[in-house]
Structure 1
Amino acid sequence: MKKQIPLLVFSDLDGTLIDHDSYSYDAALPALAALRAIGAGVVLASSKTASEISVLRSEMGLEAWPAIVENGAGRLEPASDVGGHNADYLKIRAILGRLPQSLKSAFRGFGDMTVDEVAQSTGLSPAAAALAKRRDFSEPGTWSGTEDDRLTFIAALAREGVSARMGGRFLTLSFGRTKADRMGEMIAHYAPLLTVALGDAPNDVEMLEAADRAFIIANPNGSPLSTLQGEHNGRIRRTEKPGPKGWNSAILDLLSELEQKQERPRNG
């Protein structure tokens, strides 16, 4: 009989587990080691591609766990570096191509950028930017227009079956499915005693609200998230420190709390 894992942690990357500017996760290494020591699983959940996440997952020693890629539009299986095929991505690019220029002119997707432009827009190295352009399921991009025009753009895409979600840096287009959708699949498979989620951006909200315990990581580079369900009773908390420093303190504090209380998952 397979041993039930004590914790399954779902974590956003940019601005959460990795630093918004340096892309370092060194500050979170103590918490990652503590999770590994108790047999907890860590599922990386990001707008990044399978190619990008497979590299980071390997560096972090998390190859035994699946990952959620491209904001939940796809998933990366354990010990794999292949996320899927690019049929969805090509369909999204085709739909963008059919929109009137007046609607799409303020959106500049990764498919419209060179590798060097993606590197400049993201702060990634050219090699990492090339991986970010290797997309299967979704198209992130920058928006330079007004808020009203953005809403009109999103509505036009919705009529074509394409959804748009705002992350910490980019407006990302996909055919739906969120991080929380993939999270549910993985919870059903692993049946952990407790689930934990950490994130900092609007595209993390469903994932944060679906977890037994969750942490909103401070993001000095973006607007604070509105109050979420679960904050009133402490199920969802906010960190004072940003990025991996906040991630590290949140996880270590939670593990200490669980050890003292021997907490089990909440009912319902």
Structure 2
Amino acid sequence: MSPRQTTLAIFTDLDGTLLDHETYDWSPAAPVLARLRDAGIPVVLASSKTAAEIAPLRAEMGLSACPAIVENGAGILPAGAETVPGEDYAALMQLLSGRPVAHRFRGFNEMSTEEVAATTGLSPEAAAKAKARQFSEPGLFEGSDDEREAFVQELAGEGVQARAGGRFLTLSFGRTKAQAMAEIAPSLGATLTVALGDAPNDVEMLEAADLGIIIANPAHDPLPLLPGEAEGRITRASLTGPGGWADEVGRILDENDIP
């Protein structure tokens, strides 16, 4: 990254936003990512993915000089690091054990690497990294809507938050991407934060940023109208995935006269 001082910082979801929902390809956004690097603008990846998944992807994108938000905000991966300390996962698994309704929730802990690969479309190697949880547990709830709501409410009483993402219901002890963004932004000197996302677990981050951009994802229902849209702080991309990401971020760079 360039040493040039900047006040702009990008916080972005991955699956269905910077990564194609089906193929995980990010190449359509590569030219804009290069433009951001050249301008010295930090890009903070903010995902439900684990540190084991994000660290190599961050390096591949040329973003290792930036911190990253892992497991839906439960952890922050420092710039240049490959791991982050975390002990929440064991406590979460203990809390889930023995609950009658919990048998409806099939988390990554219960899935083999092959099952995770088949469910996500990841390679076996990538699926193994997705199972390396430290803070949260993604999974599929296989019961009725009423049973799911009862499950979510029961866990909420124990301090566990259930968040819906593009594919999974993810359980954690409640920290959000927005909270992690609030912690990171001052260290970047950011006075203008831009957040991009496509799913319910991105909503707080989209609302908390100075500018929020909802990336279209036809793989799931669109997000409901958010309060920030009426204020003009949140807009919706017309294109999907990394193509929509590149189009919207490129527009912001142009509007701010950033080469």
TM-based fold match above 0.5: yes
Structure 1's unaligned 5+ residue stretches are: 261-268
Equivalent residue letter for 1:6: T
Identity rate of aligned residues, in percent?
A: 55
- 1:5 and 1:259 mapped to 2: Cα distance? 12
SS in 2 for 1:161: coil
* 1:16-37 deviation line (CA, Å, top 9, x unaligned): 0000010110010111111112
Give the ranges of 4+ consecutive aligned residues of structure 1 lying more than 4 Å apart after TM superposition. Answer: none
Provide the alpha-carbon RMSD of the alignment. 1.3
Aligned match of 1:131: 129
* 1:152-179 deviation line (CA, Å, top 9, x unaligned): 0011112222111111110000011100
Give the number of aligned pairs: 256
SS in 1 for 2:194: strand
* 1:210-243 deviation line (CA, Å, top 9, x unaligned): 1111110001001111111221242211011111
Aligned match of 2:198: 200
SS in 2 for 1:58: helix
Whether contact under 8 Å (2:10, 2:41) holds in the other structure is yes
Aligned match of 1:7: 8
Structure 2's unaligned 5+ residue stretches are: none
Instruction: Give the TM-score normalised by structure 2.
Output: 0.96
* 1:127-170 deviation line (CA, Å, top 9, x unaligned): 00000000100000011211111010011112222111111110
- 2:229 and 2:205 mapped to 1: Cα distance? 14
Equivalent residue letter for 2:10: V
- 2:230 and 2:160 mapped to 1: Cα distance? 34
Instruction: Give the TM-score normalised by structure 1.
Output: 0.93
Aligned match of 2:69: 68
SS in 2 for 1:216: strand
SS in 2 for 1:238: strand
Task: Report deviation, 1:3.
Answer: 5.9
Aligned match of 1:266: none
* 1:89-139 deviation line (CA, Å, top 9, x unaligned): 111111111211xx1122100000000000011110000000000010000
SS in 2 for 1:105: helix
- 1:41 and 1:168 mapped to 2: Cα distance? 25
Aligned match of 1:89: 89
Aligned match of 2:53: 52
Does 2:239 correspond to 1:241?
yes
Alignment partner for residue 256 of structure 1, among 234, 254, 257?
A: 254
SS in 2 for 1:169: coil
